Structure 1
Amino acid sequence: MEQQQPLLSGNDSRGESWRSYEYLGRSTSLHVPTGEELVSGEEVRLASNFSDSDRFSCYPPSIHGALVSSPDPPPLFPNPPSHGGYGYQGGYNDYQSGYPPRPIGSGALDEVEIRQLLISHVGHRCCWGSGPARRWKITSVEDCNVYVGTLETFFEERDTVIEKKPYLGGKIDGADKGQQVGIWDLDLRAYFPELFIPDKEVRINIPHSEAVHKCPDCKSRGETACASCNGKEKQMIQCPACYGRGLIAHRDGSDTICKNCSGNGNLPCTICNSKGTVKCKTCEGHGSLLTSSIAVVKWKTLSTKKVSATSGAASVPDEVFHQARGVQLCNMQAYQCTPAFFADSYHLNNFSSQVIASRAPVPSSARVITERHIISVLPVTRVTMVHRKRSFSFYIVGYSREIFIRDYPSRFCWGLCCCFEWLGM
């Protein structure tokens, strides 16, 4: 049997593949890299250390390439060679979802199976009647294919923030300990997440970035002027109970000593006790601040999704197809994915180009690590049922055979419950 050829051929030489795997600690005598294999996040974290001459290479070149070779961000989407990014036309027999494969475009479902799927779906809706599902006549069964294309861009974003906290004394990791490294020179392999994780953030102290400075709010005194008494020492305030008299007047004309101020008529400032100063909140009374540079590193995945459906399935929301199970016709990973090539399908070639052209913009401060492009085909069956002059249609979507229906005729909730939603998808 003739072996399947990749849809896209990578430009990497065999020697480059060997070097990438040697970097990851794989033994070339035991493991032969192939175009189908992709670098995982675990391999990044377990990669061996480089020498000082390779200090910019924080990640394996097979996934990060030229991105970490320079502290300056590269162009957003240059045209480097693909690092092991291949796509394969797997065919329907390669589908390993656990569901029996169904020939695309053929009437594999008979009337008994279709009716049973609908009855089961209706049975999970508390206010739907099963009469139409059991007794209405099936007049048409239309099979159609729906293509789902996705492009995921996995990138890393780094930023620096200055953190200030009171200096309590002791040794610091300052410039005398060594030169402060640039934010893109930090080796973060120990924190590297799984590829295409939706979102992850870590905060790391940049080595040799600590410094001690005088507190700007208290001028290194540790105290600031009291806002209540305007910083005046021994400033007293009028007693609110006796209004400064020191005595409390009674209805019978007698006076008693005010217990609130002990007859003095005045009270010390409740904030500073009439000292005129309070402890500086910025340095907490220590007079100095310890500043350090913190690297805020974020890994994110941006996704672009498109659906190409025939007119028979045009009324189904795209989100239904995105969540359904189908057959992968193309699955490629590269630094920058390019459109897939199908030798016998202009439609798929054009659809893949549209997905790639809709690539989500990456922040200017970020660097792309890798991309993944997938094209899947979903079997969709449109069924029409009729009773007298009434009719309705529903759809059987994907290999999990989920039901999508909007206009089921026997409903008793009048829109007051959630049963209109397509539960289970």
Structure 2
Amino acid sequence: MNSAVVYPPPTAPPADMFGTVPGYEGTVAGGGGYLPPPVPLEPVAPPQPGPAPADWSIPSLSEDDAQKAFKEFASANCCWSKKPAEDGVITNMQPFNTYRYRLETFTESRSTEWAQKPHEGEPADFYTQPAPRPWEVQATPPTMFTNHTQEIRVPYTSSIKDCNTCHASGVQPCGACHGGHKECWQCRGSGTTGIETQCGHCRGSGQERCDKCDGRGTMACDTCKGKRQLLAYIQLKVEWVNNVEDHVVEQNSGLNVADLHSVTGKELFKNSQYLLYPLVGFPNPVIAEASERLIRDHQSKYAQTSRILQQRQTVELIPITKVNYKWKGDTHVYYVYGNEHQVSGDYPATCCCVVM
């Protein structure tokens, strides 16, 4: 869960030096885990009614639109023959509209770890003032329901120390050579090419100057980047995550429900607030039950390790059309679904490539 760089053990801050920062007692090098948020508020809004009765029908898909969608489906696959889409004859079309309930819970979580970076003149403010607690540090949230991560150096936790990787020298041996020289690539260290012919590239020495370190034999230290000192501090990682969960009402079309994740439908209802109540009185009881179950689960699951900032629930009616068609005397089936007219089905001529 923690993607921060783990530095070599010698460079980690001493535990006895930083173990008494109020609010950060459990923070360690490599990550201290997610921090419980402040006590959440209780919902204050009344239960949400379902959408008012309305004309929820979706216009039936025309044969022309079904044929067009099928042709685009075939054209998107370069090795498929276009004949089934072009010559197939539609024999039957059957609509299967289905409800999808979607719950989004937008959360903010915070975790801390001891981190370090090359010292570039930053002041050492450790203990000059009390450090703000993890949930007191100001962070700029993104647009609501958008995933984002921000890393913040916690004020008044920074100290300066010598780099133990290079012993404060700022340099380390070059890994590509030995003392600034390496084996000549042309004669492979022999000093000759052919039969007793001196290598013209290294002039018979068998070695050449290392181009990685420019012949110095050393390079800037990977840990301190040549600065000789490190700034050690508590790093706060703030993550905003939009946790999305769907429930699709069972439908008998035969289309795999997983196919519906990538499409949209006709929006029947949407509302958002800090903490949602389940829908009440929705015409389809399965949607009302899904709303109650998912809201309860989300509020229980995410409130333990994160702060719920907003919830949003949506009900859509997704169009699905089952299309039967004939090609070369055989009957085949494909589905056209969603506002985007996506297509799913077993294509009867999936390879027209010619192997030379």
TM-score bracket for the superposition, by shorter chain length: 0.5 to 0.7
Q: Please give the secondary structure, in 2, of the residue aligned with 1:121.
A: helix
Q: Kindly tell me: are residues 162 and 318 of structure 1, through their superposed partners in 2, closer, same or farther at Cα, counting changes over 3 Å?
A: same
The two structures have a TM-score, normalised by structure 2, of 0.62
Number of the residue aligned with 2:343: 404
Indicate conservation of the 8 Å contact 2:47/2:278, yes or no.
Answer: no
- Aligned identity (percent) is 20
Q: Deviations over 1:24-60 (max 9, x none)?
A: xxxxxxxxxxxxxxxxxxxxxxxxxxxxxxxxxxxxx
Deviation (angstroms), 1:196: 0.8
RMSD: 5.0
Deviation (angstroms), 1:86: 4.6
Number of the residue aligned with 1:305: 246
Indicate conservation of the 8 Å contact 1:149/1:355, yes or no.
Answer: no
Number of the residue aligned with 2:350: 415
- Amino acid of the residue matched to residue 86 of structure 2? S
Q: Distance in 2 between matches of 1:397 and 1:381?
A: 6
2:279 is matched with which residue: 340, 350, 357? 340
Give ranges in structure 2 of 5+ residues lacking alignment.
Answer: 1-34, 76-81, 176-188, 197-202, 206-217
The structure having more radius of gyration, on CA atoms, is 1
Q: Distance in 2 between matches of 1:147 and 1:203?
A: 40
Normalized per residue, which structure has more strand? Answer: 2
Q: Kindly tell me: are residues 358 and 321 of structure 1, through their superposed partners in 2, closer, same or farther at Cα, counting changes over 3 Å?
A: farther
Deviation (angstroms), 1:296: 2.0
Q: Kindly tell me: are residues 73 and 114 of structure 1, through their superposed partners in 2, closer, same or farther at Cα, counting changes over 3 Å?
A: same
Q: Deviations over 1:155-214 (max 9, x none)?
A: 11222233333446x5615036432212211122xx2111111x2122222222221223
Alignment of 1:220-299 (within 5 A): 282-283=223-224, 287-299=228-240
Indicate conservation of the 8 Å contact 2:108/2:306, yes or no.
Answer: yes
Indicate conservation of the 8 Å contact 2:69/2:343, yes or no.
Answer: no
Q: Please give the secondary structure, in 2, of the residue aligned with 1:320.
A: helix
Deviation (angstroms), 1:335: 3.4
Q: Kindly tell me: are residues 332 and 225 of structure 1, through their superposed partners in 2, closer, same or farther at Cα, counting changes over 3 Å?
A: closer
Alignment of 1:22-171 (within 5 A): 72-73=36-37, 80-82=42-44, 86=48, 88-89=50-51, 91-92=53-54, 103=57, 109=60, 114-124=62-72, 125-126=74-75, 127=82, 128-133=84-89, 136-138=90-92, 141-167=93-119
Q: Kindly tell me: are residues 159 and 386 of structure 1, through their superposed partners in 2, closer, same or farther at Cα, counting changes over 3 Å?
A: same
- Amino acid of the residue matched to residue 214 of structure 1? D
Indicate conservation of the 8 Å contact 2:37/2:109, yes or no.
Answer: no
Indicate conservation of the 8 Å contact 1:154/1:368, yes or no.
Answer: yes
Q: Please give the secondary structure, in 1, of the residue aligned with 2:62.
A: helix
Alignment of 1:316-331 (within 5 A): 316-331=255-270
Q: Deviations over 1:121-154 (max 9, x none)?
A: 2333342343333xx544xx54433111111121
Indicate conservation of the 8 Å contact 1:88/1:332, yes or no.
Answer: no
* Alignment pair present for 1:185 and 2:136: yes
| Number of aligned residues | 294
Indicate conservation of the 8 Å contact 2:50/2:280, yes or no.
Answer: no
Indicate conservation of the 8 Å contact 1:180/1:208, yes or no.
Answer: yes
Q: Please give the secondary structure, in 2, of the residue aligned with 1:353.
A: helix
Q: Distance in 2 between matches of 1:289 and 1:349?
A: 57
Indicate conservation of the 8 Å contact 2:116/2:231, yes or no.
Answer: yes
Q: Distance in 1 between matches of 2:172 and 2:327?
A: 85
Which moves more between the two structures, 374-383 or 84-93? 84-93
Indicate conservation of the 8 Å contact 1:146/1:377, yes or no.
Answer: yes
Q: Please give the secondary structure, in 2, of the residue aligned with 1:309.
A: coil
Indicate conservation of the 8 Å contact 2:124/2:160, yes or no.
Answer: no
Indicate conservation of the 8 Å contact 2:224/2:230, yes or no.
Answer: yes
Deviation (angstroms), 1:334: 3.3
Q: Distance in 2 between matches of 1:171 and 1:352?
A: 51
Indicate conservation of the 8 Å contact 1:90/1:329, yes or no.
Answer: no
